[in-house]
Amino acid sequence: MPNKRTREKQLQKLAAQRRAVRRRHARQRGTAIALAVVLVVVAGFFVGKAFLSNNSKPATAATSGTSNKCSTTAPPTAGEKKKLYKKPAQVIKPGKTYTAVLDTSCGTFDIKLDQKLAPHTVNSIVFLAQHHFYDGLTFHRIARNFVIQGGDPKGNGTGGPGYETVDTPPKNAQYPIGTVAMAKGGSQPAGTSGSQFFVVTSGSAQQSLAPSGQGPQYAIVGHVTSGMDAVNRIAKLPISGSNPQDGPPAQKVYINTMTIKVS
């Protein structure tokens, strides 16, 4: 039998072995915990990066197209031949406020008409709207960062209601964004109007609409008071033809209806 001293050595050796095993297990647990922490941090980094990427990048064509989407459905009145009229009698009343509400394939916008600034032309617009002249017509022209233009029964910039009015704009007339004015031929006197109108979409339009030495050229009939987002939706549509900055929209943009509110 081993003596006392031998047994003590054996016990000491066994205790040392147990301590070594515990230290080895502790190191293994520490390594496993550290590895788990690293994996969690790395996974969190990539998840966070993906989240930031998805939430900070600009809208793609698909997402921006949702806000800029215009209907391609033609109204029942599209393509109808419009009756031509003689210059109308007075249909608007002094002191009343007239608002033209345009329901288009790209949304609805309101134009507060200014009969003090252009009494003959506003009277004409109200008359034509009451006779559903504008229903089914199109916006046939987009001039990028300038105007959108519509109200032509021929749809090509050459048509009108069968008569003309004249409301010469004041010498200090301004054409800020949202101004609604009437289109005319280059050789026609300032303020001449038919049925075609345009909405100003850029703050830089003033010089073109009121050239130096000539003064304001286009009768101002009102301003957009709500729905400018619909106007901008039209203005941002692709343009067909050889000039990407000025021409007809690549898809038809209809005036479904134009109605008049009186207050």
Whether the pLDDT of residue 219 is over 80: the answer is yes
Same domain, 84 and 3: no
Same domain, 103 and 232: yes
Q: CB atoms < 10 A from the CB of 41, how many? A: 9
249 — pLDDT class (breaks 50, 70, 90): very high
Task: Give me the pLDDT at residue 69, please.
Answer: 87
The beta strand positions in the chain, using DSSP E, are 98-104, 107-113, 139-143, 147-150, 165-166, 179-182, 192-193, 197-200, 220-226, 246-247, 255-262
Whether the pLDDT of residue 232 is over 70: the answer is yes
Whether the pLDDT of residue 227 is over 50: the answer is yes
| Residue 187 resides in a domain | yes
Both ends of the chain: CA-CA distance in Å?
Answer: 120
182 — pLDDT class (breaks 50, 70, 90): very high
- Tell me which of 18-32, 133-147, 225-239 is least confident: 18-32
C-beta of residue 125 within 8 angstroms of C-beta of residue 113:
yes
Same domain, 92 and 16: no
132 — pLDDT class (breaks 50, 70, 90): very high
| Residue 67 resides in a domain | no
Rounded average pLDDT over 147-176: 97
Query: How many domains in the chain?
Result: 2
> What is the DSSP secondary structure assignment for residue 139, as one 8-state letter?
E
C-beta of residue 115 within 8 angstroms of C-beta of residue 123:
yes
Same domain, 252 and 158: yes
Q: Mark which of 57, 85, 102 sits at the end of a domain.
A: 57
Whether the pLDDT of residue 147 is over 60: the answer is yes
Same domain, 45 and 134: no
Q: Mark which of 57, 82, 104 sits at the end of a domain.
A: 57
Q: Mark which of 57, 83, 104 sits at the end of a domain.
A: 57
| Residue 64 resides in a domain | no
Same domain, 108 and 164: yes
Same domain, 6 and 84: no
Same domain, 161 and 211: yes
Task: Give me the pLDDT at residue 40, please.
Answer: 45
Between 12 and 117, residue with greater pLDDT: 117
Q: How far is it, in rounded angstroms, from Cα 27 to Cα 1?
A: 38
In this predicted model, what pLDDT tens digit does every residue of 184-215 receive, in sequence order? 999 999 999 999 999 999 999 999 999 999 99
29 — pLDDT class (breaks 50, 70, 90): low
Same domain, 27 and 151: no
| Residue 107 resides in a domain | yes
| Residue 165 resides in a domain | yes
Question: Which domain covers residue 192, as residue numbers?
Answer: 73-262
48 — pLDDT class (breaks 50, 70, 90): very low
Task: Give me the pLDDT at residue 33, please.
Answer: 62
Task: Give me the pLDDT at residue 11, please.
Answer: 64
Task: Give me the pLDDT at residue 125, please.
Answer: 98
Same domain, 108 and 167: yes
Between 18 and 7, residue with greater pLDDT: 18
Same domain, 147 and 235: yes
Q: Report the CATH number that the domain containing residue 127 is assigned in CATH.
A: 2.40.100.10
Whether the pLDDT of residue 174 is over 80: the answer is yes
For 46: left if phi > 0, alpha if psi spans -120 to 50, otherwise beta; the answer is: alpha
Same domain, 114 and 144: yes
Between 18 and 118, residue with greater pLDDT: 118
| Residue 63 resides in a domain | no
Mean pLDDT of the chain: 85
9 — pLDDT class (breaks 50, 70, 90): low
